[in-house]
Structure 1
């Protein structure tokens, strides 16, 4: 128990929704003998623990209960049921700057905020140089906050919060505002706190940050704890949840379209002599109805093997992912600079075009090193108006098997263990955001990169192919491109 920083047990939160103002008064008068309100439960029976020095991410759709959970842990809200135990001082980065007085300067608001958080005047005097440096807003620090942008306000509020030397740090999308340099400083500061044994709760819609920044994660769905476990697995479950919801919405659209076509067909049968229709229209509509119906039924009936590392609507399926060397031999160990080939074999289950085969490569820390696929190649050809095969235009037929080979002529990755993720995507337009996942496979393959210490040694995650020159006259040599 001494190792626990946060202990949440059977936590639930209820809000009372009154249709009319007088119902609230009637509820008080009847002292609970009758209920004049509706119930809304943003949280239901949540239990989890966070140890000292552990970083735990929380993900979920909007309205899943993430912010409510953090506010209860921070002491802003009271739970309706259950218990929350937090050991030590809490710094909560929730709605940063919301309590600032717009007429006060940044410095005055910093002192006010520090006193609210329990810091003495002497502690704030000592911390003020670091707060000013960290906020990085220059002369605006002594200007009224009403002249600040939202990003400047967040900078000052964050700079004050992290001076608390907390035992528990709660972060709720606080880093979404601010430039890249400020975000870098924030993450660096959070890492320092974690190394000192501070427990961290981290909420973000940036699932890549959750995957790489946290040890474990929680997935909330409709107020309940849906999945808890290693961050990589929870992030995958979250992606699958979003995909399934999108798929159900599309199936609903198909069903509505089918019903509309059937209604049109029925109206033609009732009145076949409508001008300009002839006898061909019922057959045409019936044919379209049949195709849509079969597509809907296949979408509902399809299933895969249920492993936790893959999901998709499965109109096309990945059957194998293999890593080869430059001699086309299967291989799992390479050196920086080697040729590496990754072959993705897949089967088509429904006639289609606009297919996009994609790879992601992650190191063992979960950091995405590279993401690229056939559509990236297509887009480059189209943008530069170069001749070449456009994969996106290829038409595939049900039952066909194909293989796409991705080649790295000279691998630039540094020494590490790497995971290959593969996916088949229906790229509906030339907009990268307009996509539907047919099959996504995590841990599709693995390979190791080693370094030739005697001839090709460098530090970092990739080889930037630098070279060094000794310049006798710096300006002259640089001007000539040395």
Structure 2
């Protein structure tokens, strides 16, 4: 079984004031160094246990790809060490190791041998690799005529031809068509069920929250936060909008879930509650029941334009539905300090059984990245139960009309 241990890991590159300084340092090794160290990563510590899936997230330049290169051994750390147990398959930079003038089949053999496959193994695996990649006659054409999506298909098919103990994937799966992405994630889920350890770098919030047991947030070359995927992704989302005089807070609620609140504070949510058709406050409702969500916001400074956004998330933190008043053309204008605004949203709760939460946003446009007055996750938690609908699976109630004809 596979396990990853990262201890005190750091990576620095030498910066020289000019080209002659490098030569001087080489020729006079006993003298004081003339370079300065530019640290890309510092003091990274985490463990991925056997059979666990961990996601690595962070803005561009946070050090995610550098970290994976050191874990896979394609780059050496300046400090610290990495230990891996089990057979490793890695899919890092798209097409890495592929020669553009060789055919896909030839590249598959070369890439497979780099992963530790024997030629005899690859002879037997090639039909499965071709079948999964679904690139047809292109398998015998030079890789230079491939699209980026075709390269990803072939690279992923080779890397996962045999179930590895550890599977490491960078952003490569973000390239290509939706069909193959679904197919790839199905294979990843199958591997997980069979005990493969997964380390995944992705900006895809849904992928991190649906596949991973835990997430690690990198920021400025250090571990900013580590914990449940929903907690880390909520923090990451708030961090993207953080500006001067903005707060970003997290605290654990009674049910063990972590609430995240961020924003500059010109407007804040005072109270959130849900009413049923009888006007009663409820937090448990029936599948398909018509309800109204009430969100009361306080205005602390004059605001020329206020947009309210909300989203319904399942227990894993995946958004079931979300919109805002910029999209629906219900913007509030010319608000004054001391005003109180009430937003009401009436809808049929066509959701599957389970626990859900509401996230709210008070902003000036259709995104919280411009003026994030307040972003609040887990603003309201409610449960959906099935009282009078036939049994169904999934997170949405659709009430289908099914016809059957025999001829």
TM-score past 0.5 threshold: yes
Map 1:163-182 to 2 at 5 A.
Answer: 163-182=161-180
Unaligned residue ranges in structure 2 (runs of 5+): 252-258
Indicate conservation of the 8 Å contact 1:319/1:345, yes or no: yes
How far apart, in 2, do the equivalents of 1:320 and 1:304 lie? Answer: 19
Aligned equivalent of 1:416 = 354
Aligned pair count? 400
The match for 2:373 among 438, 459, 463 is 438
| Change in 2 beyond 3 A, CA 1:327/1:92 | same
Q: Does 1:73 align with 2:71?
A: yes
Aligned equivalent of 2:281 = 330
Q: Counterpart of 1:79 in 2: which secondary structure? A: coil
Aligned equivalent of 2:195 = 197
Cα deviation digits, residues 182-233 of structure 1 (max 9, x gap): 1001111111111121111111122332233211111111111111111111
User: Which is bigger in relative contact order (C-alpha 8 A, separation at least 6)?
Assistant: 2
The RMSD of aligned alpha carbons is 2.0
Structure of higher CA gyration radius: 1
Q: Counterpart of 1:101 in 2: which secondary structure? A: coil
Give the C-alpha shift of residue 306 in structure 1: 6.5
The match for 1:374 among 304, 322, 325 is 325
How far apart, in 2, do the equivalents of 1:306 and 1:90 lie? Answer: 36
How far apart, in 2, do the equivalents of 1:34 and 1:128 lie? Answer: 55
Q: Does 1:91 align with 2:30?
A: no
How far apart, in 1, do the equivalents of 2:116 and 2:26 lie? Answer: 36
How far apart, in 2, do the equivalents of 1:372 and 1:223 lie? Answer: 34
Indicate conservation of the 8 Å contact 1:414/1:460, yes or no: yes
The match for 1:44 among 30, 42, 45 is 42
Indicate conservation of the 8 Å contact 1:422/1:441, yes or no: yes
Aligned equivalent of 2:256 = none
Map 1:340-419 to 2 at 5 A.
Answer: 340-378=291-329, 391-408=330-347, 410-419=348-357
Give the C-alpha shift of residue 181 in structure 1: 0.3
How far apart, in 1, do the equivalents of 2:203 and 2:49 lie? Answer: 23
Map 1:458-469 to 2 at 5 A.
Answer: 458-469=392-403
Q: Counterpart of 2:40 in 1: which secondary structure? A: strand
TM-score, normalised to structure 2's length?
0.93
Indicate conservation of the 8 Å contact 1:151/1:177, yes or no: yes
Q: Counterpart of 1:27 in 2: which secondary structure? A: helix
Structure with more of its chain in helix, by fraction: 1
Q: Counterpart of 2:61 in 1: which secondary structure? A: coil
How far apart, in 2, do the equivalents of 1:28 and 1:164 lie? Answer: 45
- The farther-off stretch of 434-443 and 221-230 is 434-443
Cα deviation digits, residues 377-412 of structure 1 (max 9, x gap): 21xxxxxxxxxxxx315321110112111111x321
Indicate conservation of the 8 Å contact 2:7/2:81, yes or no: yes
Indicate conservation of the 8 Å contact 1:65/1:222, yes or no: yes
The match for 2:231 among 206, 230, 233 is 233
Give the C-alpha shift of residue 20 in structure 1: 3.3
Give the C-alpha shift of residue 312 in structure 1: 0.6
Aligned equivalent of 2:13 = 15
How far apart, in 2, do the equivalents of 1:468 and 1:198 lie? Answer: 40
Aligned equivalent of 1:220 = 218
| Change in 2 beyond 3 A, CA 1:433/1:9 | closer
Map 1:150-161 to 2 at 5 A.
Answer: 150-161=148-159
Give the C-alpha shift of residue 152 in structure 1: 0.8
| Change in 2 beyond 3 A, CA 1:434/1:216 | closer
Q: Counterpart of 1:395 in 2: which secondary structure? A: strand
| Change in 2 beyond 3 A, CA 1:303/1:140 | closer
Aligned equivalent of 1:105 = 103
Indicate conservation of the 8 Å contact 2:171/2:202, yes or no: yes
Indicate conservation of the 8 Å contact 2:249/2:260, yes or no: no
Indicate conservation of the 8 Å contact 1:353/1:392, yes or no: no
How far apart, in 2, do the equivalents of 1:142 and 1:305 lie? Answer: 55
Structure with more of its chain in strand, by fraction: 2
Give the C-alpha shift of residue 319 in structure 1: 0.8
Give the C-alpha shift of residue 372 in structure 1: 1.9
Give the C-alpha shift of residue 28 in structure 1: 2.4
Indicate conservation of the 8 Å contact 2:9/2:43, yes or no: yes
Indicate conservation of the 8 Å contact 2:247/2:263, yes or no: no
How far apart, in 1, do the equivalents of 2:248 and 2:141 lie? Answer: 61
TM-score, normalised to structure 1's length?
0.79
Give the C-alpha shift of residue 434 in structure 1: 7.1
How far apart, in 1, do the equivalents of 2:367 and 2:296 lie? Answer: 23
